[in-house]
Amino acid sequence: MIPAPAVPLGVPLGRPRVMGVVNVTPDSFSDGGRYAAPADAVAHGLALLDEGADLLDIGGESTRPGATRPLVAEELARVVPVIRELADAGAVVSVDTMRHEVAEAALEAGAVVVNDVSGGLADPAVLEVVAAAGATYVAMHWRAHSDRMRDFAVYDEAGGVVAAVCRELEERVEVIRAAGVADDRIVLDPGLGFAKTPAHSWALLRDLDPLLALGHPLLVGASRKSFLGSLLDSSRAGRGGPRPVGEREAAHLAVVLELARAGVWGVRVHDVRSARDALAVWAALTQEEGPHD
Identify the bridge partners of residue 136 per DSSP, sorted by sequence position: 113
**What is the reported pLDDT for 242?**
87
Question: What stretches in the chain show pLDDT beneath 50?
Answer: 1-6, 290-293
User: Could you tell me which CATH class the domain 17-232+240-286 is placed in?
Assistant: alpha beta
Taking phi over 0 as left and psi of -120 to 50 as alpha, with beta for the rest, 111 belongs to beta
Q: Indicate if the alpha-carbon torsion angle 211, 225, 54, 71 is positive or negative.
A: positive
Assess contact for 180 and 131: CB atoms under 8 A: yes
**What is the reported pLDDT for 68?**
79
Question: Rounded to whole angstroms, how far apart are CA atoms 132 and 137?
Answer: 12
**What is the reported pLDDT for 14?**
87
**What is the reported pLDDT for 239?**
60
Assess contact for 128 and 21: CB atoms under 8 A: no
**What is the reported pLDDT for 114?**
98
Dihedrals phi, psi of 43, to nearest 5 degrees? -60, -40
Residues belonging to the active site: 225, 268
Question: Rounded to whole angstroms, how far apart are CA atoms 277 and 43?
Answer: 21
Which run of H or E residues covers position 95? strand 93-96
**Which pTM does this prediction carry?**
0.91
Residue type, 203: A
N-to-C CA span, the chain = 32
Rounded to a whole number of angstroms, the CA Rg of the chain reads 18
Domain ranges within the chain, ordered by starting residue: 17-232+240-286
Question: Rounded to whole angstroms, how far apart are CA atoms 14 and 230?
Answer: 32
Using DSSP's 3-state secondary structure scheme, residue 113 falls into strand
